[in-house]
Structure 1
Amino acid sequence: MTSFLSPWLIWFLAGVLIMLAELGAPGFVIMFFGVGCLAAAIVAAVAPDAFAVQVGVFIVVTLFSLLTLRKVAVRVFVGRSEGGMQEDTGNVQVGARVRIEVPLQAGRHGRVRFRGTMWTAVAQEDIAAGEEAEITGVDRNNRSCLLLRRVPAGGGEN
């Protein structure tokens, strides 16, 4: 290819931009798409006309790195907050409040928004949409699952 933007450069720039996007997005997931782009850039430098191979390497490396490295990377880069946190809850503050957007049934997994991201949650009792719930802890088997209890209307401080 004689153009300025050769395939390896396109993959490389996409990888760098995607990795930079991770700085603005919570969840520590987007970065692994950037890793896949960088791997595809290496393949594109060797075989610039093998687009199908480049895409295949992108998909395989992205999935492999996401499934194997995400937990390790979260432990290394996220860390723990200091002060006022219970040791067994990681960096989730017991007593923090969340507003329920979708009704939760007692004992069943649902989703709530906490700190700008969606978390799995289990409530001790049914909680209707629009009500407030208090975080009582995290599930010991799934540290990204919040344990909630309904806060009675007008009950307690915000």
Structure 2
Amino acid sequence: MVKNMTLSYSLIWFLVGVLFLIVELLLPGFILIFFTAGCWIAGLTAWLTDIGLPTQILIFIISSLLFLFSLRRYCLKTFKGSTRDDHEDPYINSKIGKTALVTKEISANTPGEIKVMGSFWRAVADESIEEGQSVLVTSQESEDGLTFRVKKL
């Protein structure tokens, strides 16, 4: 009889842990996942040993809080990732300082086109630059990252 009761407690702990997990997935705050782990530890302990419900609840509380306070900060850094501003795009910044070839003439008032690192980009300059000349990419000119400022070499 005691073994059946222990088995039902461990099943209840497992299902409550699954419920915590589902709620965590629906409302991500990265807190309930640690209570999921606490439920499963309490359920595993109830299944492997013959302990009463008050002890199981104590194991759940201690393990959940221990995981929460010791692992949450580390897990947030690992799983949430980080965002970056488009202005800090390494793909665009990698073109600054490179030599490019003018593929469409650049005049003082009209953007032209350059080829740098195998891609074609809009380009502006303070002076007119003819097609076929080599230029140096000096900076990103537009907010969208598609236009660069160049100067003659």
More helix by share: 2
- Give me the TM-score of the superposition, normalised by structure 1: 0.48
